[in-house]
Amino acid sequence: MAAAAAGPGPRRLRRAAGPGSLCHRRLCFLVLLVAESVSGVSGWVVTSLPGYDGPLPFHLETGYVEVDKDNGAELFYYFVEAESGAGEQDVPFLLWLTGGDRCSVFSGLGFEIGPIRFVLEPYDGTLPRLRYNDNSWSKVSHILFVDSPVGAGFSFSREPKGYDVGDISASLQLHDFLTKWFNDHPELLANPFYIGGDSYAGMIVPFLAQIISEGIEAGKTLPNLKGYLVGNPGTGEITDFSSRVPYAHGVGIISDQLYETILSHCQGLDYINPGNVLCAQAMNTFNNLIDEVENAHILIDKCVYASPEPNINIKTDGADSRRIIREETGTGKLNHPPAQPPFGCVTYGYYLSYFWANDRRTREALGIKKGTKDEWVRCHDKDLPYTRDLGNVIKYHRNLTSRGYRALAYSGDHDLLVPHLGTQAWVRSLNFSIVDDWRAWHLGGQSAGFTIRYSNNMTFATIKGAGHTAPEYEPERCFAMFRRWILNRPL
């Protein structure tokens, strides 16, 4: 990793006068004033983005927060101001995290809950275009997207040792991040604060919420924590994986006979590491069968996964893709262009994001510090060290909800990676009484999924037709769910 060089000076728009108010969007567009870094925070307002036609119709701030002074590690963030009631202290504030392996939170911003989307059109070597997302969760909430852990997205460390983190250390760094960020944005400290994320972020969200709740009880000045939400979340519980077997059987991917064999010979065993030959053989057959479908969403076609894997033979419209990349970026340092999926695949947007994020104009607009990242990848591929040291996090769900914090666990009902059956199982294991029994929730006069609400403010919901990262597949339904829940309305 190259040593970090000084980037452009941090630019921060001064907020409008008056307690608790944020700068007016028109003023933000017209005025850029340099501000000093406060407590290791450097940020600036972005009024336009390459590929987006005209000024942004939302307030976007990007920047860095130092979380490891010894190693020079900094987390990169995108802050999107709520599009309604922005200056009011009752507007919800959502911290959003993304899973891994070290996936950039841009996945949340550009593919799931944020205000921008890529215009899906064949890549021709020019800068991919952006459009506005009508189902952005920023319509009702401030959203702080953070590239965490160190190494994800545009987050970086000047020293290699700074990348050696794990569940616990990364969570503590996020806590440090929030302390510094809110010290630099005190007008937002009183807003109702929520933590959210999907997939592997399901491990970090409840643990980080637990840390913050303990700080609040100790009388520390912290965000006004009200609750958290997790989508198709990992928990460290064995049912995260074992629930794939009854789910695959229920949707017709495996036969009755295989299902019965697994139940007979794998009962009580770790399905990932079978303890006897018959179980191992059955699980091998099982894995071969589920590999025939797209595990993130069983109904869509399997496509080439736009990952950071090297593919030096990619061709784009007859031209050498590497030559196009170098011409567009001016860096010549991009070594992992993703495999090009067929146009129309759900992963095509991931493919476009690589070229957009590595373009020199994009980096300048976002304020990326020169020399910190030679190459942006949407997700890493275990090329950086990471320790999974949290174990099972269900105890944190129990602790938080027992203390009165609101919780929403939701599942795309076509996800085979972390099936809704497993999520339902651990939610039920909390043994809370039912307040609102299982029922459909609706959008436009049709069922949008099903939900059940328990005591201690715990809600579980499914999103009909959605996959592993539910808002990516069913944005309208997920936004309706979020809007109702975050505003304390029934689904």
Residue 48 falls in the annotated catalytic set: no
- Is 24 catalytic? The answer is no
- Residues 128/409, Cβ–Cβ less than 8 Å: no
Which of 142, 380, 420, 468 is the catalytic position?
Answer: 468
353 included as an active-site residue: no
Using alpha carbons, select from 177, 176, 155, 239 the residue that is nearest to residue 202. 239
CA triple 417-346-244, angle to 5 deg: 15
Amino acid making up residue 81:
E
Q: How far apart are CA 411 and CA 422, in angstroms?
A: 10
**What stretch of H or E contains 343?**
none
Pairing mode, if any, of strands 130-132 and 224-231? unpaired
Residues 420/462, Cβ–Cβ less than 8 Å: yes
314's tokens: 């990619």
Cα 20 versus chain centre, distance: 28
Place of tokens 């589920």: 290
Strand 224-231 versus strand 192-198 pairing type: parallel
Q: Which of 157, 199, 213, 243 is catalytic?
A: 199
Active-site residue, selected from the candidate residues 147, 184, 413, 415: 415
At residue 392, what are phi and psi to the nearest 5 degrees? Answer: -90, 125
d(CA 423, CA 409): 8
Contacts of residue 289, defined as CB under 8 A and 6 or more positions apart, other chains included, come to 248, 253, 254, 258
The letter for the amino acid at 110 is G
275-282: list long-range contacts, CB under 8 Å, 24+ apart. 282/258
Which residues have a catalytic role annotated?
Answer: 199, 415, 468
